[in-house]
Structure 1
């Protein structure tokens, strides 16, 4: 079995910590060694409450080293799970929840695991309904019936008398303390021979010295306000405010005739199990996880008056969830029943004790965990087999390389992921993924695991090379692949214009250019790309995930209108101006909220402005008259996006460009209207009825003023609930016409099949026809060298410098350099760059060789004519241009070395040129 590292709370008096201690001890007893790592600080003085033997065993586990790659078990609430350790070969989460659902932002955390261990069928169902898709296994809790048993002295509690009821809990509404006090006040009078003993502590005040004072005040206040009684008007209530040592808990339960907790929901219910093991009958709510071991045959079940919205005042993650509404009147009746029939209660307690001994020992839990760990080991061995070994069919088939995209497989909306999923859907074709941005391994059950296993896979032959452009393409051009049809997916890099440094790659080198919409298609057409080589691939929507119904994200909506802004603080998003306009549109008295979801600082995507805004908001430094604003810097996973949209009323997506339009489509599919930039794409997606449009932001005073006015008007209109609802319905209706992920991937798979049959430009004869006329050069010399290269990566000036190193003004040679206006370089700027390059080459102006700058716009026909006019073509690191030049009958210089230039020129112009050239 592989080593096991167990991470969770250890030395604190919580249910999670108690489970950690019990499960680790059970595994150790079953000879499964565990390296235990505490995820929290010790509670003050808690170690001293453990027995010496128990503490020593836990300490050995904490100090045990980890021998190599391991199975990692994280045992806590899902929102506290950390990314899998780099040496973890399998990631397990152990968690639970107490409502009928799961917070939306917990779902993605669960789905990032390899599997999840839940306490029982209750959480298995609620988690699955909430959207958890990773495998779940039921691993119940257990009880040490040798520690918790009926025999022994009871805990001494001064002031108790008669029938004693015990309740142990943290003072939260979920625990039903209000139901407990109300039922107690109704059940008995001060003359009844009964006592209610409460061991409780305020939230987060486990070690506080004033627990009893704080809670006695709360009890007195509740009895007076909610029940109309003074403390002296009800039966005796005794409060234990100090901590009861863990070793004394069995004695605490033994002092009671009944244990009661009218909880509104439990993830397991550890105190119930401990009471039952001590032979003490339990009164518990008839709902949630504890019903796995508690039933009408071994306890008293409180009727439930249905499910009601959970209160999120104390715990924000309960927002949008439901829990039980236990009946106070039925609890009163059960109190009286136990008091009146102590013999029945003792018999029920004895039955409960027997069930704990036979059905719920820690040894059985340990055996279940051990068996699961062995299965995990077998799974890891099978899944870790390298994907690089091609099948017989694949070995004879040229494959596909997908280059680029994010290595963070939680971002499943990236274009790279979509191409990889399309390849998986296509099947029987070898493929590999190349990316420089690394990320965590996805869960073994995730569809993304196959893509991750194909990282850096070696292919015997390449039919198609797909390059995914990201923002680095705005300043550097992608490298031309050496094999296969070259497909460039422009993503959101190309919107209404082509970045200058991409012109030559898209127009002259790529075999296929994929764009996200018609506006981008027009932009690449404008630089001279052949229409036959352009493919429009719109952003697709996963209709199974992006729906109006389902979990909501994070904190509850605290305003009547909640605006959502997603994304990094980049210039085209105009976030600072959006916030400024929001502050002008509303005041603190307006029932609105702006929720900004920005990347975390770890992603390095925060400007100074957004960092300052986050700091001001967290420190409460915004002016009190300004409207409410949240800044959320938690990383948002793909699985969380639907819940994030659903938590909002309006999406704000304004600035200078719409991008691919994916965010608009996903929000609308969730029934959220949008305020979007008014461009061709948003008109197509949003139309006139699914939201509001504002003009693209411009820096001129008049345009900026109009933009602010239009955005203010749109935001204020969006606060009208009726109008917003009408547009939300229209948004969802329009979303039904969007291309789905399934249809998009099928189209991508078919396209890859077709592209694999094409002859790449680097190999085919991309030549002019026999009647192609020559380009009319201005006074060229006898030998013409043509250079058409990238001005944005320094290639053109480097070619000029190499030319000056090989020739002088005496040589009968002209270097014709294409300016290529589509690259966005002016003639003046180009001349300055060439002059600087020549100066680096040395020599005076009089010694510089003849150069000619061609300022004409370039298209395919013009390039053919230029090659027909040239003797030599310079094609440095550009096999496609070299192949086209040779097909046109031109010699090729493919290096910047002087020897290459001398050889090419001498071969084309053998007569003596000059002493320098002939040398």
Structure 2
């Protein structure tokens, strides 16, 4: 059973440092900030001015007094595990104690095992660390996968050029790191000098700082010792000074390709930052960075098949950490080949850089990681030891290229499921029924209309199918009751239709739909419309009877006068495709042209998703008096953009709307006995939602006259949708349902 979110969090971490731990900690706090959980900060370590004013002000804003964390707080310590037993708070009873940490080699220090097992949970950023910690003796059930987040929008802007010395060449490889032996600076310098000549237009820029535990390192001399021929080598630029964050971002942006030769990488935040900028990055294909760096978005240096002992200097100076450990064995030849390819193949650089930016924005933004943290804190995440880590094949059948909502749902769920390396995904398109032997998969999900009840060749079969009008079609009943393993619906209202039709409620899973938060959000620029600039109501959807557009027109024309500063925009869908011949085009055109009626604009042109977001933003209130609806994507898209909505108080929107986030209008359920919906025979009675006309008029008048209040309602609605109803939420619920189905039928369980 899902738990509730904690009342507050005490966060112990080096939040003021420019180290990796400090940078990661501030980014994770930004994800927590989106969950609206009070956080009390306990800094450890130094406070360094180089973190920048923006981060300093952010930390001040999120830091709440200890009294604000409530009665059921969680303690989170982000540090090396030797810190865990040192943190105590008198008088506070924590609901849970969580450690966040990382390690780079093939195992963890032996002393860490006991400290980690003493915590309730350990959050790790990569599958690599999930394996190394578990293999070293940490209880697998305590391990939770929480990837590092990034302020992706921070890197997607213009930056001033970095003031390089004149000797720096046009093409610049960049490596930024602390001076630690595992960072492979020796490997990179040797490979660069062996591969490139002094007369090639390329430089290697090394931004390296020497940590306090290496105070006597003469870095320039050490780097010179790595150069094979001091009389003739390509240009190397060394930057040793600490620089403010703005200068570091300028350095990133002014470089052409990031390269990391870290033999054992905990994560690789600089790689991630450069990728978020749309810059190509190189890394060794081993350890933590492989969580987000793949062949499709990075240049990968292949290591040798066998590992090698950690550098002898590290083993001697830090035996408690590294004695007996191993890391990637990498030859200079493999580094040379990858550097040369990155330098010469401009087309590949541009292609992987574009994909890199997209991947980082979609999978590792503050909001994306906030979703993961929420699922762990409220108990809805699958345990790391269940089938969620086991590979399986998934066939997804249904339209993907069309403009209607079914295809939109398929595209977005597929997009996120395909990011999971343990899912082997076959993407199907709308097609005739397949026959025995054409498809083999562990799980088949079919989402199309009409549904295809030809039994697929797979171990498990899921049908995703909304239904808006009470009793199910007769032809659906037997396959769904006896053949299908799970039925997915969009809302609890949909689920009720299935249960009242006689299906087992345990077979039916609610998979709510979502929005693309990068498109639908409050900062969208409004669309320029040839419509008076007064108050604008909006309807979006196919103008068919079940959408209730006739009721909306009646309420609007009876409530408002022609001389009032108000417009109703009706954005129709599918007039030339899936709703062709069924829409109210003639009725709406006549209404728009009627004398003495308030202003009506009828639109049937097709818009892109971004244009639709701008259309929502150009209006003041969305009204949807539906009679039957599976979910209502336009409703949550408008809400995500900060636009208030007027809706019936029944139906699917009850799942995501309340009096705090929407204007809910009195409605009743109307039922009739009839043999069919159109040409589709049904089991028994039909029911739909009838919105009270007077209540709808009053709600529209209230919105028109209380613009400041409804704007605040729209802002609350946006936070609700963006925090709980994105496509990542949808895909995660779909994945959990699939993996619970697999796990339930696993003979080992």
- TM-score tier, shorter chain, comes to 0.3 to 0.5
**RCO higher in structure (CA 8 A, sep ≥6):** 2
Structure (1 or 2) with the larger CA radius of gyration: 1
TM-score (norm 2): 0.47
